[in-house]
Structure 1
């Protein structure tokens, strides 16, 4: 199977990867948006879990990861619900990990185990992220998941150039099982870029507002038995159709509120949200040694302090009154 990705280029992938990609659970991710409901108000916030999953697989491949780890990368988001992390807010999963709690169940009830068995792979071995050090690492380290969603979201929204992202990707190496960067300058660039993602995008007042409204919409829909938990494994537009077709005035009124204009206003606000804190500190490989870039760059120390303050402070959203 031939694959093209704007960040990583062209690849011929093995048959097992091709069959998993073509399976219904992975194809479903084409219609699950990574940013929750924000694609409804900004056409540049429309990256899908499918694009990201393919990207993670290809980045692991680029870094020399095994076929097994590439499969794990391809599957890592397969249990994401409609509107992604919105369902974490609906179900009050503060660590934004509901999809992880149903991950094994979703795979077991799909065609994926038989596809993997056909090629001699045990799906249970692929389920555990601690086995795959390129795919996932705890913050503040780099991992394929974290790198891909950062670069992909910002390239799509035209906040960074694809060529600049490619230059960073070419500076990555794997040392002692860890993803590291070969220069301080490239590390500094990624730290700045990452905070554009988790501060300027994740905490953008419109992003916060739209996902908060969608959270309330879905909560009300559940209270009125319009939606049940099993519906969360449908696609975004399928769930949206169920909401729009409900004829429930409260749900429909809330849905219309998504399209309000908002601004950040710390002194006069309608909504305040603080999400989980995400700080980054890439390892730099220089002179055959590994060190966090914060040990080598005063700039990164400052940016991390600023990001911590902003994350703890959260976002204060004011809905603009239409004249």
Structure 2
């Protein structure tokens, strides 16, 4: 049995339990979903482990195959310590470093042996994401990955009532392999929550500041060979301790700023941080008669306006200055 605060209680197959207990998945308990943000706000503490299990359970709830549930559970297994902060450190605009290293990491992990013991080939499951239409879809469509992090962050960080989340989950249906919402009201509800997470959390000045400072720490340490790529595959606390133990004046200063972050405002004047985040625009499919689907923005002025505002917000980037 496995219990999740959002999806409830499930009895799962032995292969899923064995994977959950693997070293590769257990490491994710120490990798925070939002990178270094927990260092400036301890409440921002959702982990890649919670998200990965959630994606697996959502796919299960939507009727996905056991193989797709496995793919969902393992989709973030190669995330480095501090998640996408490493992409900032490496100036990787695609934010996909974990995908680039996934095959090599998995080949050296305990995952292939576990899957093989249950008759699965890890390469068949994990080297062709396009076959898993519930797990991954290009923006602006819905997918289990996108739905879970929206619901999970909304639940933990914005106190969104579980009753509302359950109503949304009950509105989901599958048409031609795509996740579709059967209610315009629920479609508008999800888009609103999605942008709440993106704009009020992802773009929060403290979140951006923590990512910038930790990225500078990692970048400096990599460039001077104080750490290597293998160190990035530690969990957050392990890498944090390794970096702090370097006791380098430049890093000490950055760590002090993380421990005592300044008050920040969004302003282009005297800015100390600038980040341009990956554009995240959501436009879920909605159905009214189960025979045809339409984009939410085609039938909802509310969704269309939210998308327009989010696009403009993303295009501006995030300029942070010290508050006076």
TM bucket, shorter chain: over 0.9
Match of 1:296 in 2: 299
CA distance in 2, matches of 1:118, 1:292: 43
Per mean C-alpha deviation after superposition, the further-off stretch among 59-68 and 88-97 is 88-97
Match of 1:49 in 2: 48
- Please say if residues 7 and 54 of structure 2, whose CA atoms lie closer than 8 Å, have aligned partners that are also in contact: yes
- Please say if residues 264 and 315 of structure 1, whose CA atoms lie closer than 8 Å, have aligned partners that are also in contact: no
Give 4+ residue runs of structure 1 displaced > 4 Å after superposition: none
Q: 1:243 to 1:320 in 2, by over 3 A?
A: farther
Q: Deviations over 1:99-158 (max 9, x none)?
A: 000111111111111111111111111112101000000000000000001111121113
Q: Structure 2-normalised TM-score?
A: 0.96
TM superposition shift of 1:267: 4.3
TM superposition shift of 1:55: 0.1
- Please say if residues 73 and 135 of structure 1, whose CA atoms lie closer than 8 Å, have aligned partners that are also in contact: yes
Which ranges of structure 1 fall in alignment gaps of 5 or more residues? none
Match of 2:288 in 1: 286
Q: Structure 1-normalised TM-score?
A: 0.97
- Please say if residues 268 and 321 of structure 2, whose CA atoms lie closer than 8 Å, have aligned partners that are also in contact: no
CA distance in 2, matches of 1:201, 1:220: 27
Match of 1:165 in 2: 165
Matches within 5 A, 1:22-41: 22-41=21-40
Matches within 5 A, 1:254-265: 254-258=254-258, 259-265=260-266
Match of 1:20 in 2: 19
CA distance in 2, matches of 1:225, 1:248: 13
Number of corresponding residues? 320
CA distance in 1, matches of 2:110, 2:190: 37
CA distance in 1, matches of 2:58, 2:11: 14
Is 1:67 the counterpart of 2:66? The answer is yes
Q: Deviations over 1:176-235 (max 9, x none)?
A: 100000100000010011011112211111111110010111112223332111100001
CA distance in 1, matches of 2:293, 2:267: 41
- Please say if residues 30 and 47 of structure 2, whose CA atoms lie closer than 8 Å, have aligned partners that are also in contact: yes
Which ranges of structure 2 fall in alignment gaps of 5 or more residues? none
